[in-house]
Amino acid sequence: MSDGRVVLTTLGHLEKAEQLARALVERRLAACVNIIGPIRSIYRWQGAIEDQQEYLLIIKTTSERAADLDCAFAELHPYDLPEHVELSIEGGSAAYLEWLSAQVSAEKQSRPDRWGMASNCQ
C-alpha cells in the first residue's frame, strides 16, 4: 500500500498547462507533472455538448498534498470548474514512491492568496 496519488486535470492551452505544472512542482504540491496532448475532450457543459482540444496533466503527489490541490486550483487554474480526479497508487517501485514522497514532504509554508490573505497553498 502506498500514500502516492495520481491527480488528473485538463487545461485548454499548452502555456497554461506548463505554468500550472511548474507552479505545482515549485510549491511541492507535486513531485512530477506530465503534460499530454493535445487531446480531444467531448463533454457536456452548461447544457451544451462541447468538443475541445485540451492538455491532460498527470500530477504525481501524496494523499496529504493532493488535498491541497483544490486550493491551488482555485488560485491558479483558469477553468471555472477544474477537473480534479484523484487515483490511489496501489503499488509500484518502492524507490520511486519514496522519491515522490520526499519531493512533496517539505514543510508547508503559508503564502498570500490572490486577495493577500494567508493561504496554505504552496
Among 38, 36, 41, 44, CA closest to 52: 41
State the average pLDDT for the chain.
Answer: 88
pLDDT digits (tens, 9 = 90+) for 65-101: 998 999 999 999 999 999 999 999 999 999 999 999 9
Q: What is the CA 71 to chain-centroid distance, rounded?
A: 10
SS3 96: helix
In this prediction, residue 115 carries a pLDDT of 32
Task: Give the pTM.
Answer: 0.85
CA–centroid distance for 2 within its chain: 18
Q: How far apart are the first and last CA of the chain?
A: 26
User: pLDDT grade, residue 105 (50/70/90)?
Assistant: confident
Residue 114 confidence (pLDDT) above 50 = no
- What CATH number labels 4-119? 3.30.70.120
CA–CA dist 73, 65 (Å, integer): 12
Q: What is the residue extent of each domain of the chain? A: 4-119
Contact (Cβ atoms closer than 8 angstroms) between residue 2 and residue 92: yes
Cell of 69: 490541490
Q: What pLDDT is stored for residue 32 in this prediction? A: 97
How many Å apart are CA 95 and CA 30, to the nearest integer? 17
H-run or E-run covering 73 = helix 69-76
